[in-house]
Amino acid sequence: MKTLVIGTSGQVGGWLRASSLKRGHACVGTGNGNASSGLIRLDIRDAEAVEDLIAAQRFDAVFLPAAMTHVDHAETHPDECRAINVDGTVNVARAVQRHGGTLIFFSTEHVFAESPHFYLEDAPCDPASVYAKSKVEAEERVRDLLPDRHLILRTSWVFGPESQKKNFVYRAVATLRQGKPLVVPSDQYGQPTYAPDLADAALDLLAQRKTGTFHVVGPAHLHRLDFARLVCQVFALDRRGIEGVPSATLGQPAPRPRFIGLCRDKLIAALGCDPIRHPQQGLQALRKEMEA
Ligand SMILES: NC(=O)c1ccc[n+]([C@@H]2O[C@H](COP(=O)([O-])OP(=O)(O)OC[C@H]3O[C@@H](n4cnc5c(N)ncnc54)[C@H](OP(=O)(O)O)[C@@H]3O)[C@@H](O)[C@H]2O)c1
């Protein structure tokens, strides 16, 4: 199999390429601003460049984790967000439509409004932020352009070893090791998802020829404070450095759903097992990698 990972320079993309290579697939990777050696530089806003790459190599699967992922930047730069997350996704979907293969698109729990219930994959979306609205629109365009040749994988609070070292766990560990307070929202819930497991689950769904939308998130539904406390426990840090404050006082430009949860039953039924480890085990694996 021949795969393309658009956004290999990012957290999830790096693991998608690793998982592809582990299975013996030929894998081409791209980066944009952080394209290191071995990666092709590609901006998905450039429809011609996207078309040229996909037309020339005809991939069996195109993974698209690339996106504007900084939700507050997206809120204050809506045109840039739309150009990347919607128009860029459409450029990729059109090229896959023309040249064959399956598109694996990555989305977010933010497509839903906050709710005490866990969402099924086909529940109506109700996004609040510019970022979340762009993901809902991109999902719809992917379904329209590739009705039988797409996977849409919604995930949440992704963490794992990462070349750019920018996920929550790296930032939390660095802040607490410097003796600074770690300020976290005291009213937000999520499902921490270990990035290497997310990548393996994506490749497994593809291998089993599944299509459609899946929620690929970890087994624990945690408060951000509890996740921060778990980080302290696993990294042997003083949890008294954690300071919980209400989201409203953080001055974040983008609204975030506070209580939100994605139902994982469809994923587990499709794969016949739970592919995502508990965050405690994920954090232990990440610590081992960071100290190696
Ligand atoms: N991380 C999470 O907690 C989380 C939660 C829910 C959903 N998701 C979704 O999961 C996916 C992967 O997230 P991630 O954590 O891996 O994100 P990430 O680490 O921020 O990586 C984003 C990737 O997108 C690339 N990119 C940005 N703008 C681009 C453009 N115009 N053209 C081509 N590539 C571009 C970046 O390239 P350069 O760095 O080289 O510029 C990078 O490779 C995203 O779609 C995100 O929305 C993530």
Q: What's the pLDDT tens digit per position in 42-62?
A: 999 999 999 999 999 989 999
Q: At how many degrees (to 10) do helices 195-207 and 11-22 cross?
A: 50
Spatial separation of the C-alpha atoms in residues 39 and 51, rounded to whole Å: 17
Tokens matching residue 90: 């459409």
Q: Is 282 in the pocket of ligand 1 (CB under 6 A)?
A: no
Share of the chain above pLDDT 70, in %: 100
Domains of the chain (ranges, CATH numbers): 2-156+195-217+257-276 (3.40.50.720)
Spatial separation of the C-alpha atoms in residues 65 and 176, rounded to whole Å: 30
Residue 190 scores a pLDDT above 90: yes
Q: Is 34 in the pocket of ligand 1 (CB under 6 A)?
A: yes
Ligand 1: residue of 12, 40, 224 to mutate (most ligand atoms within 8 A of CB) is 12
Q: What's the pLDDT tens digit per position in 76-113?
A: 999 999 999 999 999 999 999 999 999 999 999 999 99
Tell me the CA–centroid distance for residue 281 and ligand 1, in Å: 24
Q: Is 91 in the pocket of ligand 1 (CB under 6 A)?
A: no
Spatial separation of the C-alpha atoms in residues 69 and 10, rounded to whole Å: 10
Computed over every residue of the chain, the mean pLDDT equals 97
Q: Is 13 in the pocket of ligand 1 (CB under 6 A)?
A: yes
Report the pLDDT averaged over residues 125-133.
Answer: 98
Tell me the CA–centroid distance for residue 10 and ligand 1, in Å: 5
Q: What's the pLDDT tens digit per position in 146-177?
A: 999 999 999 999 999 998 899 999 999 999 99
The pLDDT assigned to 36 comes to 84
Q: What's the pLDDT tens digit per position in 241-264?
A: 999 999 999 999 999 998 999 999
Locate the ligand 1 atom nearest the alpha carbon of residue 39 and give its number. 40
Residue 37 scores a pLDDT above 90: no
Q: Is 85 in the pocket of ligand 1 (CB under 6 A)?
A: no
Residue with the two structure tokens 């970022």: 131
Report the pLDDT averaged over residues 12-39.
Answer: 96
Residue 35 scores a pLDDT above 90: no
- Which residues are within 8 A (CB) of 170 and not within 5 positions of it... i.e. 6 or more apart? 162
Write the CA distances from 178 to 103, 173, 183, 244, integer angstroms: 42, 9, 14, 18
The pLDDT assigned to 140 comes to 98
The pLDDT assigned to 178 comes to 95
